[in-house]
Each structure stands twice: as C-alpha cells, then as structure tokens.
Structure 1
Amino acid sequence: MEKDGKKLTKWELCRVVKELRKFKRHKQALEVYDWMNNREERFRLSASDAAIQLDLIAKVRGVSAAEDFFLRVPETVKDRRIYGALLNAYVRARMREKAESMIDNIRNKSFATHALPFNVMMTLYMNLKEYDKVDMMISEMMEKNIRLDIYSYNIWLSSRGSQGSVERMEQVFEQMKLDKTINPNWTTFSTMATMYIKMGQLEKAEDCLRRVESRITGRDRIPYHYLLSLYGNVGNREEVYRVWNIYKSNFPNIPNLGYHAIISSLVRMGDIEGAEKIYEEWLPTRTSYDPRIGNLLMGWYVKEGNLDKAESIFDHMAEAGGKPNSSTWEILADGHVREKRISEVLSCFKEAFLAEGSKRWKPKPVIVSSFFKLCEEEADMSSKGVLEGWLRQSGYLEDENYASLVGLSSELSNEKDSTGNINDNEENEILLNQFQGSL
C-alpha cells in the first residue's frame, strides 16, 4: 500500500475507506483496515473505526465473524456506534431474536437516546411485515421524548400504507408537517406514491410524484429511477417519457439502472416498440451488459409466445459479453414449457441453478408448477423428479408455502406469483438504502 517511502496518514486511509464503502467495495475497504490493524504502533483505531470495521466484517465475512470481532473490542471502546453496527448487521440478516436482544442491550446501556436504533428495528419489522411493532417503536420514541427524524417518519408512513389504510398514512403525513424540524424529502413522496398506487388511488399517487420531482437536488440520479418505475405503475406513458428526457438532459451518462427503470416501465405498459428503441439506444452506451435489461424484453417475448425473438436477444447477450443470470435461463425455460419441450426446460433450469448469484434466485412457482403439469400430461415423471431434486437440494422445499405453490405440498395457498411489478419490498428498499447510507 505504501511505496517509495511515502507514509500514509490515518486520515488519508480513512478517506479511502469512505470512498470504497460509497461504491460498495466492502472487501477492499476491509483490507485497508486489516492493513492498519497490523500496524498498531502507527494507527490508533477509534470507536468509530471499530463500528465501521464491524459493519464491513458483517458484509464480507458474515454475522458470526462480526460477533467475534465485537467480543474482541475492549469494553472501553464500545460505545453506541459499535452496538448500533452489530444491531444493523442482525437486521440486515433478518435475525429477529438477536436484534431484539441487542436493542434491549442498547436500552440498558442508555444508548437508546436517538432515532437510529429505533429506525433500524423498524426496518426489520417492515421487512417481516409486522407493522404493529413499527407503531410500538414509534410510541416508545414519543414516550421517551426521542425526536423522530426523516427516516422514522418515512418508515412509519410506509408501515401505515402497507396496512392498506390511506387515512392512517395521511395522519402520519399531517403529523410530519407539524414537526418543524422535518422537511419531507423525495423518499417521503415516493413512499406515499407507492402506497397510493397499491390502494388504487392514482390521482393522489401522481400528485405525490410531482412532489418527488420538485425535491430532487444536486446530482442524485436515484429519484429519477423511482419516478420512471412509479409512473409506469400508474400507467402514464407520457410522464415516463417526459421524466426520461429530463433525466437524459441533466446527466450525460445514464447508468444501467436508469435504462432498466424505463425499459421495465414501457414493457409493463405494453409499449414494446418504445422499449426496443431504448434497448437499442442503451447497447452502444453501456459500460457492461446487464442481463436484467435483456431479461425484460425476453420476458415480454416469451409471454407473447415469441420464443424465437427471446432467443435472439439471448444470443445477442452472449455476443455482447453479457453473462445470462438465473432469471435469463428461467425465462427461456418458461418459453420451452409453453412449447412443451421437456428436455430443453430441464437444461435451462440446470443452467439457472448453476449461474453466478443463483443463491439469490428462487424459481417462480408458476413456471415450476406449469412444468410439473406438463410432465404429468406427457407421463414423464423422471423429468419432474429431476427438477424436484434440484429444488430440494437448494432448500426451497423447506418453505411450506413455496412447496404448496409448486404443488408439492398438500397445503393450499392463495398466493399468486407476482411478476413484472415493482417488487413487494421496493418501498422498503428505498428506505433501507437511504438509511444504510446514513449509518
């Protein structure tokens, strides 16, 4: 790290860590700390450094490595930040019992005097869909005179909206407006817009989206991605194109995420010509081929019964140096199910299970059950057994609800497979991402 006899200062190294974390290069950031830890005589690491290190260890080496690190930190250095970092690690891993025990620890040590630990717990309850617990956290903050910050209000709004109550969500917004320390931000209005869309109140949703736009500051691209997605959910094609043109005029380079947001919206609204045109526009500008963008068009073609067109996008993806992900293979599998080609379906699923990042993918129940039905119709039970074996091996059948959805359990479920729309946790993601950035 040091060359030509130049000694790096701790301040310089911490600035490098900050930059690396900003770009989610957690492994490299942790290596900088490891390097400093091996030179204890030169670098005295503070409580704040310990908290950052713990956060990085949890992301790179897992929660149990973070717990070991926590135990090794001297008691004199353990302040609210390191307790907060471990709490955050538990919440990210959705370890509910450990998180609840840690927040009790934080209360006992009198570290629960500000909004952050409560916000972290509320994001956990949001992800677990335990909305009453979010209300309990808010009540505790109010009883203890702990000031709600913008994140507290945004999570509370999201929680109330997720319970399907427009009135109760609007009550929170009224309360927020009365709090002179709070200035509602774009996340506030995109959260409310998402909820209004779910509840079918499209006019109110569009009003919130106009407010999102009026609150975009500086060089922040993320609000544009939400605007493109949410106007697509409302079904307002003109607004999708208008926002896209403003976005392009404000930023010379649009990242893959921006292209994904607009193409996804246009596909959802059935404007496939527009989506194809923007896909063509993206190809020469991209720095890397993001398979999720090709998947959007492939998914549309398969649903329309045009497997050839989907396969031509697939071939193009490979030529352009793109690596098909599990969902890419699954879309092709879906196309082959529709064409009743059992062996092709199996070879696509095999590739899907082997693809990089497949651990984060779960086969769509609707496609799996269609394949099983096809195997039964064609009396090909051995092929059904092969896919069932892969599902079992990957642990998916341990989830009873999932097993019942694919027809491998006697339990019936009314849950339907949702595809194409903003995913269920997207509003939580906005909150979590904004908020993890503040930690």
Structure 2
Amino acid sequence: MWALRRASVPLRERRFSIGTSRACFADSEVSITHIQDKATIFESPQLVSDICVPLKRFYRTERAFVNQFVCRRGLSSEAGAKSSGEEDDLEEGFSELETPAITDAVQIINAEDEDELISEPEFSDVDAEPSQNELELSDAENDPTRGRPSRKGTASALFKAIMASPALSVNNALDKWVEEGNELSRTEISMAMFNFRKIRLYGRALQLSEWLEAKNQLEFVEKDYASRLDLIAKVRGLHKAENYVDKIPKSFRSELIYRTLLANCVKANNAKKAEEVFNKMRDLEFPITAFTCNQLLLLYKRVDRKKIADVLLLMEKENVKPSLFTYKLLIDTKGLSNDITGMDQLVESMKSEGIEPDMHTRSILARHYAHGGLKEKAEAVLKEMEGGNLKENRSACRNLLPLYAELGKADDVGRVWKVCESKPLFDECIAAIEAYGKLNKIEEAEAVFEKTLNKHKKPPSKLFTVLLKVYANYKMVTKGKDLVKRMADSGCKIGPLTWDALVKLYVEAGEIEKADSILQKAAQQNQMKPMFSSYMAVMDQYAKRGDIHNTEKVFHRMRQAGYTARFRQFQTLVQAYVNAKTPAYGIRERMKADNIFPSKSLSVQLGQIDAFRKTAVSDLLD
C-alpha cells in the first residue's frame, strides 16, 4: 500500500503534503520540504502516521480545506488536466466498471465489469453488457440456494410475458401470470430481473419489484431491498432513493444498502451526496472496503483529482488492500495526466503486490503510450496482448483492433480482422468498424457494417451508432442522414449513443442549431437523458462563437437533465464570456456554490471577465 501511495505522488511535484490536518496555512503553496531536482518521496511510512491526522471523514467545505495540504498530492496537477472529449468518453467506460453489487432480490442482482472502467470499454447501450453495478449484484446474490440466472441464457418466460404487455400494464401482466397458475419462483424472478437490467429497462424492473412486495409474492431480504434502492435511484433519482432507505426495515439497512446508494451518487457525479453517504457509513461503523474506496477514487478522478491522495492515505491507514480495479483507475488517471513515468511506477507496484495486469489493464497502458507518442512501448504491450498465437488468443482481438488503429497500423488492423472475419463476434465487428474509421478507411468500415447487418434480423442500435460516429468524424453529413433513416426503418431503438453521434455529426458539419435541436428533442423524451458529451459538444460551439445566451442555456439544461456542475462546464462557460469580451457578474460565486474551484489557467480567464478588475486607467480615474 505504501508503494502505491508513493507511486501516486507526481514526480514533477517537488512538494509533499502532510496529510489532512484542518489547520489553515496562510499560503497553501509554501513547501515544508523542497528537494531540488529530485522526486519528493516519503522515506518511511511512519512519517505519515506520525504527522498526519487520520482521515476519518470527507467534508465538502471551501477550497480552504483542500488547500490545507501543503502540497498537492493528486494524480494530476490540475483537476481538469485533459479536457478533450476523450476523457469523458473514457469515463463512460469506467463508471460502470465497479459499481456496487446491488442485487435484485429479485433478480438477484446484477451484473458487470468496471467502469466501466475500464479505460474504454464501450459506452453502454441497450445491447451492451450489464454494468458492474449490476454484475456484481447478480453475482452477490446468485447462490445455489436461490437459483442463478445465466447471463447468456434465453429470456425467462416471466420476462417475455411482461415484455408482451404495454409499458404501463406491468401489474396487469403479472396479475394475469399468477391467475394462469404460473410459478413465481425466485429463480424465475431472478432471471426476469436480470433480463430487464441487461437491456436497461429499469422502469419495468422496478414495477416488478414493487408488485412482488405489494402482493406478498416474495419475502424480501437484504439484497432485494438493495436492488429496489438501485432501481429507484436509476429511475426516480437520488432524492427518492434516499427517502426509500428510511423505509427499509432497520435490520436490513446493512452495508450493502449504503454502498448501493454511494455507488449511485458516484454515478451521478454528486460529490456532496457521496461524501454524506460515506460519512453515514462511518457513523454506522461499517468497515471501509476496497469497493467503497474505489467508488471515492472514481468520483474524485472526475471531479477533483487532488483528493485522490486523501483516499489513498485513508486506505493505507485503514489497511485496505488495493484491488485490481484500484490500480486500473489510478493507472488510467496517471495516463490522462500524461504522467507516463508515474503510470509505469504504478504497474510495478501492482506487480509487487502479486497482481498481474489483465487484458483491460494492458489496453489502458497501450492507449496512453500511443497518446503520449511512445509507439514502441505501445507496440510491445500489444504484442504481449496477442500472445504466441492470436487464433488461440481470440479474446484479445476486440481490444487490439482499435489500438493498432490508434498507432496508424493499418496492416496490423487487417491482420487481426482476418483472424475474426470468417466467424466474427459482434464486439469484434464493432471494434473493426471503429478501427477502420480511425484509419479513414471508410469503405472497409462500411463493408464490415454491411456484413454484420446481414447477420441480424433485428440489428442492435450500437452497430449503426459506431458507423454514424465514423461519418461524424469526417463530416459526412449526407451519409450520416441516410444511415439514420436506415436505422429507423430497421426498428432500432434510438438512445443516448445515437443522439450523441447525431449531435456530433451536425456539430462537425457546422450546423450547431440543428445539433441543438436534436439534443432538445432527445431530452424531452424523458426515457433516457442525453450524454454529458452531447451537451458539451453543443455548449463548446456556442462558446467559441461568444454566444453567451445559448451557452448559458445549455448549461441550465444540463442541470435540468440531472448533471451536477463540473469544472469542464464552467471552463466552457467562462470561455464564452471571454470570446464575447463581456464581463461575467457573479461567476466566481456561482462556481463556489457548486464547489468548483479554478485552476491557474481558468483564474487568468476569470480575470479577463471580471467587471471590477483594476487596470492602469481605472486606477487613474479612481
């Protein structure tokens, strides 16, 4: 654990923090220790425990609390270090990577892979695999005595019966099911819940859960309540989920209940609520686990990287051993901060703990090496991923295709695709389209698309979306429009991923008003909210124009959609005022209210739009 925290100290930072003491310093930038031309590293773990106050709780106070650290110990020198759309996309993958195991009592909960984490597993779509949140839940609840639903099995009869009924008639369908003498076993319920979660029909899953309890068809246990809580958070929001916790019998308000709530707070990027739930868990004397710490790390990776070191210090003091996901998250954060040396140190620390990098970890490393211009290191990792025989190591293909494309290796993309081409898996087809798109080989991408389309009577929407993104990247508006028409004709469900691709298609074509119109219509459907990156694509374009009115409008609509304020949003908003050469009254107060604090570069921009700033001329006039 000490090696992990040491590796997390940026080598370019020559100061160190003395912990989480609440004492205030007049100048937070003053170094207590400064070692010239050397990396600052604690020589002994005892030093930290001797001079640091244990971090027992997290507080959302003014930045003064964060600045109490004599040095910045985060994995990134700035909270918003890389603000290209790349990081947002990546987060979509991490966010579900390690989400709580919430189960469905009822479905015996859930399913998947962190986050989503995972530096770039695909975005979730209706066809995507269930999120970790769900996977872990389902595993946690799937024990031999209760029946375990197969992830790849056929849909349950109960699921089919509910799906055959109108969306608002779930209760009627269930009443009919019972009247016809059908069995409502835990196994059947579990399979139905799993099916609903897999395709993200959380509303119907919630109706099923509520009906089961109301009709006394199922004796609820801890995991059933956790599953219901998870569904309420997804369908009705955090506030309703919090209220539901109070209705759960005290004997069932376990750690699982609170970590389920914590994970949903993190997924919503609601730092204030997440910290409140964490503190509540401490008050209830629940043990601090790797899962809980990973949730905090995931949260701070998005909203305030300087606090990552606080979590690592907490893990060290509480003797919480980092998991594979912990390392993946930290390695990815280092990579996003362009700290390749720190990333490599973390890998070594990981190996020293007996944890070997898996396929996904290697994919993260290769991607960051490629982005950092270290092509030889990236290629070496890719060769490791391939193994001795790619045909025997077929599972690596879906990861290799986009990574070789990232390096501009068209021959290797073709070589890997040839291994898959005769009997390609769906994920491999998606990866191939993406890879050929990156290489600007549009015809090859279209050929893979058509081949895949012909194999599906009802093609998944993800197939259309990935090609649509290729068209968007090359401003092929006409082809994009034709593809959307084909998609609609095929009966595909159009969701957030498709909206995102459409918005970016029109943004790239310079048709910002059309992109904004699509976004507004998508938001009004009230089924699934548009992606964060969709809003930012439109907001960025308005900001570039210096269109303050519409930039503020998109900012407000993001709030209405449920997105909490992020550094990135204020950064774009401030840029709109700068480009318009207009003062922004009260902007600092707005940021402070949302617990967003400016970086050095943003502070400079804020100075440019300060209505009360002093200049040489204003001083003379005064």
TM-score by length of 2: 0.54
1:365/1:155 CA distance change after superposition, 3 Å: same
Task: Pick from 200, 205, 208 the counterpart of residue 24 of structure 1.
Answer: 200
Amino acid paired to 1:208: V
Kindly state the Cα deviation for residue 246 of structure 1 after the two structures are TM-superposed: 3.2
* Distance in 2 (alpha carbons) for counterparts of 1:301 and 1:203: 28
Determine which structure has the larger helix proportion and give its number. Answer: 1
Cα RMSD, aligned residues only: 3.8
Greater relative contact order structure (CA < 8 Å, 6+ sep) = 2
Q: Is the 8 A contact 1:334 1:367 kept in 2?
A: no
- Distance change >3 Å, CA 49–CA 319, structure 1 → 2: closer
Q: Is the 8 A contact 1:260 1:293 kept in 2?
A: yes
The answer to whether the 8 A contact 1:185-1:215 is kept is: no
CA contact (8 A) 2:401 2:431 kept: yes
Deviation at 1:86, TM superposition (A): 0.6
**Greater CA drift, 187-196 or 104-113:** 104-113
Cα deviations across residues 60-118 of structure 1 (Å, max 9, x unaligned)? Answer: 22111111111111222111100100101110111101111221222333323421101
Q: Is the 8 A contact 2:477 2:505 kept in 1?
A: no
Q: Secondary structure at the match of 1:331?
A: helix
Match in the other structure for 1:195: 368
Q: Deviations over 1:154-181 (max 9, x none)?
A: 112222333322222222211211223x
Deviation at 1:334, TM superposition (A): 4.5
Matching of residue 158 in structure 1 with residue 329 in structure 2? no
Q: Is structure 2 residue 441 aligned with structure 1 residue 266?
A: no
Task: Give the distance between the partners of 1:43 and 1:396, measured in 2 at CA.
Answer: 38
Q: CA deviation at 1:11?
A: 4.1
2: CA distance between counterparts of 1:127 and 1:164? 16
Deviations 1:228-275 (A, max 9, x none): 2222222222222233333445x55415xx544322322222223322
Identity %: 22
CA distance in 1, matches of 2:273, 2:258: 12
**For each residue in 1:110-145, what CA deviation from the matched residue of structure 2 results, as whole angstroms up to 9, or x when unmatched?**
3234211011111111122x3332233223222222
Q: In 2, are the aligned partners of 1:186 and 1:216 still within 8 Å (CA)?
A: no
Aligned length: 386
Unaligned runs of 5+ in 1: 338-344, 374-383, 416-439
Q: Secondary structure at the match of 2:426?
A: coil
Superposed CA deviations along residues 347-379 of structure 1, whole A, max 9, x for unmatched, are: 564345324667332244565467x59xxxxxx
| Superposed displacement of residue 391, structure 1 | 4.3
Question: CA 1:247–1:405 in structure 2 vs 1: closer, same or farther (change >3 Å)?
Answer: farther
Which residue pairs with 2:465 in the alignment? 292
1:147: Cα distance to partner? 1.9
* Aligned counterpart in structure 2 of residue 106 of structure 1, from 281, 284, 290: 281
Aligned mates of 1:236, 1:266 — CA distance in 2: 10
Partner residue of 2:245? 70
Distance in 2, Cα, partners of 1:274 & 1:288: 20
CA contact (8 A) 1:27 1:60 kept: yes
What does residue 47 of structure 2 align with? none
Flag the 1:253–1:153 CA change in 2: closer, same or farther, 3 A. closer
Question: 8 Å contact 2:472–2:480 — kept in the other structure?
Answer: yes
Tell me how far apart the structure 1 counterparts of residues 311 and 349 of structure 2 sit (CA, whole Å).
16
SS at match of 2:520: helix
Equivalent position amino acid for 1:194 in 2: R
The corresponding residue for 2:557 is 394
**Aligned mate of 2:445, from 254, 258, 275:** 275
CA distance in 1 between counterparts of 2:465 and 2:581 reads 31
Distance 2:371 2:330 in 1: 17
Q: Distance in 1 between matches of 2:248 and 2:477?
A: 57
- The answer to whether the 8 Å contact 2:433/2:445 transfers is yes
Structure 2 letter corresponding to 1:96: A
Alignment partner of 1:36 out of 185, 202, 212:
212
Pick one of 351, 372, 382 that aligns with 1:209.
382
Q: Please, which of 339, 346, 369 is the counterpart of residue 172 of structure 1?
A: 346
Distance in 1, matches of 2:506 and 2:290, equals 47
Partner residue, 1:341: none
Name the counterpart of 1:354: 521
The answer for unaligned runs of 5 or more in structure 2 is 1-173, 585-599, 603-622
Which amino acid is the alignment partner of residue 34 of structure 1? E
In the aligned structure 1, how far is the partner of 2:515 from the partner of 2:235? 31
Cα-to-partner distance string for 1:35-70 (whole Å, 9 max, x where unaligned): 221133x52211122112211111122111111111
Matched, 1:46 2:221: yes
Letter in 1 for 2:410: R
Alignment CA distance shift 1:368-1:283 (3 Å): farther
